[in-house]
Chain A
Amino acid sequence: MEQKTKIHAEDGRQELTVTRIFELPVDLLFQAYTDAAIVAEWMGTKVLKLENKAHGGYQFETTDPMGNKHGFNGVIHEIVPNEKITRTFQMEGTPFPVQLEFLEFESIDADNSKLTMHIVYKTAEWRDRMLQMPFAFGINMAHNRLQEIVDELR
């Protein structure tokens, strides 16, 4: 079976692309990114702030299975309904530098849409570290593992 979510990551580059086709009209897909309650549900995080406007900020807080809280935040640079969101993303309390995300929403037909997420990292090395840390958002990751990784980077 063909995989629904695809990652394109060429080695030695400081970027990657995530693509996914949804069985959803584009407006519903877009809404899943702008409605705080919905974001909280599918990202598995608490949404402290989500300002859907240019220069608006967002702030998430996730509690891992060990009960530790992890903060994430960023700034929305540009937002065009049902078309695109350009934003930064940063994990608080980790050495990971801020990353730049270009989200593009495309309508395929009345019932299907496509999301392309182009992420640019500070360097190729940071991108690879992020790739190797799939549970970076803390949802499924024990705090110990994060600590190990952070310690390794020091």
Chain B
Amino acid sequence: MELRRDVFQAIADPTRRAILTLVALQAMTPTAIAENFDSSRQTISKHIQILTECELLRQEQTGREIYYYINAKKMKEVADFIEPFRKMWDDRFNKLESIMKQRKSKNA
């Protein structure tokens, strides 16, 4: 359970979401990741550490470099958990919006 809480906190942060987006495109070294941000190298390292701890990123040693990969399975698990619930409300709210827009234009 402790681990799961970390996952949700991990993806709630915009910088960490940006890191996940970058690494989703290609495996990257910590230096390459940090180059994409204005934040200090230490700050980005901390974010990478959190993402790794909750298994959203995994690291692989290639020669002297460590590369970070996205853990697609874990990402999917997190997304799947909330998505159907979100979609249900999104559908309802879309309907609400279109119904009220129609009434608005009728009354205008």
Contact = CB atoms under 8 A, between A and B. Distances in A.
A and B: bona fide binding partners:
yes
Nearest to B100: A28
Contacts of A132: 81
B64 interface: no
A41 B93 CA distance: 11
Contacts, number: 86
Nearest to A8: B12
Nearest to B1: A12
A144 interface: no
Contacts of A10: 5, 8-9, 12
B86 A6 contact: yes
A134 B100 contact: no
A9 B82 contact: yes
Interface string A122-154: 000000001110110100100000000000000
Nearest to A41: B99
B44 to A, nearest CB: 23
Contact of B89 (A8, A18, A29, A140): A18
A28 B103 contact: yes
Given A22-B97, A38-B99, A41-B99, A7 B104 contact: no
Interface residues of B, number: 29
Interface of B is mostly: helix
A134 B87 contact: yes
A131 B85 contact: yes
Contacts of B85: 7, 130-131, 134
Interface residues of A, number: 34
A60 to B, nearest CB: 13
A11 B82 CA distance: 11
Given A13-B5, A22-B93, A24-B97, 12 more contacts: A4-B90, A5-B90, A6-B86, A10-B5, A11-B6, A11-B7, A20-B90, A20-B93, A38-B103, A42-B93, A131-B81, A132-B81
State the 10 A-B residue pairs at the shortest beta-carbon distance, nearest first. Answer: A134-B84, A5-B90, A11-B4, A42-B96, A11-B5, A12-B5, A42-B95, A11-B8, A134-B85, A28-B100
Interface of B: 1-2, 4-9, 12, 81-82, 84-90, 92-97, 99-101, 103-104
Interface of A: 3-13, 18, 20, 22-25, 28-29, 31-32, 38, 41-44, 115, 130-132, 134-135, 137, 140
